[in-house]
A = this chain, B = another copy of it.
Amino acid sequence: MKIKVKVTLKNGVLDPQGKAIQQTLNGMNFSNVEEVRQGKFFEININENDETKAKSQVEDMCKKLLANLVIEDYQII
């Protein structure tokens, strides 16, 4: 089954890439863009039919590899 994960920077962590995108958009006639924050998105295809087990495995993957918990939050969707 396919599990989707969103990894975003925690509030307060600087996001220079998002800032660059915001400034570029402001210069492209999107002057009402106030903030952009960029995160990562993963689609994980896992050979496990039990949704609860699959999600718990993906949570484990987030903690061990996909997210840096010092500066990032993850959300399994």
Contacts and interface: CB of A to CB of B under 8 A. Distances in A.
B46 A33 contact: yes
Interface residues of A, number: 32
A52 interface: no
B24 A65 contact: yes
A24 to B, nearest CB: 6
Contacts of A68: none
A58 to B, nearest CB: 9
A76 interface: no
Contacts of A28: 61, 64-65
Interface of A: 6-8, 18, 21, 24-25, 28, 30, 32-48, 57, 60-61, 64-66
